[in-house]
Amino acid sequence: MATDRLGGGRGRTVRSPLLIGCAVVVLAGCGAMPETGDVKAVDVSQTGDAQVQVYAVPPRAGASALEIVDGFLESMTSDDPDFQTTRTYLTKQAGRTWKPSEGTTVLAKAPNRIGPSYQEKERRPSETTYTLTGEQVAAVDSQSSYRPFAPTDYSQALHLVLEKGADGKQEWRIDVVPDGLVLGQSDFKRLYRPVNKYYFAAARAGSEPALVADPVYVRNRTDPVTRMDTATQTVRTLLAGPSNWLRPVVESRFPAGTTLRKGDVSLTPDDQNVLKVRLSKHADKADSVDCRMMAAQVLFTLRDLTAARVRQVELEGEHGSLCSLEADDTGDFEGGSGSGAPDSQYFVDEKGHVRRIPAGSKGLGDPEPVIGPLGAGPVAMGAVAVSRDEQRGAAVSADQRHLYVSSLVSESEAAAPVVASQAGKAEDRLSAPSWDGRGDLWVADRDPAGPRLLRLVGGDGKPQEVAVPDLGGGRIEALRLSADGVRIALRVTEGKHTTLRIGRVERRGSGATEQVSVEDLRTAAPQLTDVTAVSWSGRSRLVVVGKEEGGVQQVRYVQADGSTASSGVLPGVNQVTAVAAADDEQLPLMADTESDGIVKLSPGDNWQTVLKEGSSLVYPG
């Protein structure tokens, strides 16, 4: 394993406790401890291997101030219960008040530490300060929500004093320390894992309940503070409510104040794959309908976490069983206004007509024209979007000036365009459209004289302009709505770069007077400075095509919170101009390329050419 630990470009090493108090590493699956041989450095940071376990040890007697700083930083990377050993590097007062669960600062590498000058040591022999520095790439808040950053300079001081120990001798200890943890990126990946907890999209008249993924990071194995296993930590965060970013557009059906029963630190299905979740007395307030929705939240949250598939969830209150829900009965909570059948694929052929590849063919069926004017009309189309129920299509003309909407299930005459752009250049006109899970149609007009984000309720009527307060001087180049209808992915050009941003779709009012805006834009995958294509893939991630500064094009998965995983990079494919993924993650990923036409990537396979001619291939949405 490579290394990224402590200071001044030096490698991080785990030292023998005979030399200095710090962490001891155990590798799962290793044999007995050797009785002979030299003491050697062991690197533990780089790979993010969850099998690596670090145990903290207290500082040695007479340790220098630098050793105390190094030992404290090392101990934070351990599974130390309640960080009790980690606190021994702090003064008694600081050890009592330090709050490690207040959040985590994630640096590109473990922090460097800059000590005082010789003159400063001479002037203040009984106190000293070390400054931790590095490049911050992310932060995890007290709600376990992750937020990535473009690399940002990080600097934080640790102040140390001499404190009398139990033996009466003076020992260096840290007395000023920020709450939370400071970890290098590789240690963070080793210690934490991304999970999704689920809430319901805020109710809208006539809409079906739709579950929305709220991504968080929880501790691998056992949380040092709560002693909970990963599944229990995740349910605990579910009960605590949605993250602040998502809270305005979702709701939980758990009554306020509901927690896990005191002392419950492990959630494991029984031998029938039934999971019993014991809740506090607050849960007794829920009626039968809300209780089933609560159970659905738990089922969706835990389905990827337990080794065995959870067949049923039973919720218990203070006075016994509240309700149960089987995994096979969660279809009512899927939402997304889909057709209920496997998705077809749609594209624009070389003549500008919209064609359909039938569902179930996994991209290999014979294309057929869609019904109606989009499939055989007089106007050549350049980009298409299909409603999630596959009843209607929307297409932008080849010159990108007009947007047309038409039925895909019945013949009709060509209708007048529903949106027109006045821009002079094609690239400044309309983006490809997108349907959300609530049946509304979205498109961006990129006219420099008046750029607009537009929504057509139900795909009909007068376009409504959607406010995007955080857009600043950027211009929306392309957009994709999530199936749940509460998030939007935007390609935004500002200056010389086009980046990916994710916004929250807020709705106020109802019916004809409903006002919609996109709030709190966040940059996703900030290391990608030139994003050329994006598509939602399932409930909580996107497929993104882009380049790092000075790098080559890559296709990778990005989580809905903007984080990326090292395993998220997909096999390379050349000159991708568009990408399409389905809500069903088992369906192939499709891409438009300049050299190979339309290609597909099935799970566990390599890219294959589907069509040499054609463009703008999409799944419904």
Helices (H), ranges, 103-212: 118-123, 185-191
Predicted pLDDT at 27: 39
Predicted pLDDT at 71: 97
Low-confidence ranges of the chain (pLDDT < 70): 1-51, 204-207, 306-308, 335-341, 361-364, 512, 565-567
Predicted pLDDT at 166: 82
Predicted pLDDT at 192: 95
Predicted pLDDT at 168: 87
- 424's tokens: 């002079």
Q: Output phi, psi for 509, to 5 deg.
A: 85, -170
Contacts of 353 (CB under 8 A, 6+ apart): 369, 374, 375, 376, 377, 380, 381
Q: Output phi, psi for 575, to 5 deg.
A: 55, 55
Contact 479, 442 (CB under 8 A): yes
Contact 107, 136 (CB under 8 A): yes
- 329's tokens: 């009965």
Predicted pLDDT at 423: 97
Distance CA 486, CA 560 (A): 12
What ranges make up the beta strands (E) of 298-450?
A: 312-317, 320-326, 345-348, 354-357, 368-369, 381-386, 392-397, 402-407, 419-420, 434-435, 441-445
Distance CA 77, CA 46 (A): 12
Predicted pLDDT at 307: 62
Predicted pLDDT at 256: 96
Q: Which domains does the chain have, with CATH numbers?
A: 23-191 (no CATH), 222-333 (no CATH), 394-618 (2.120.10.30)
pLDDT tens track for 172-189? 999 999 999 999 999 999
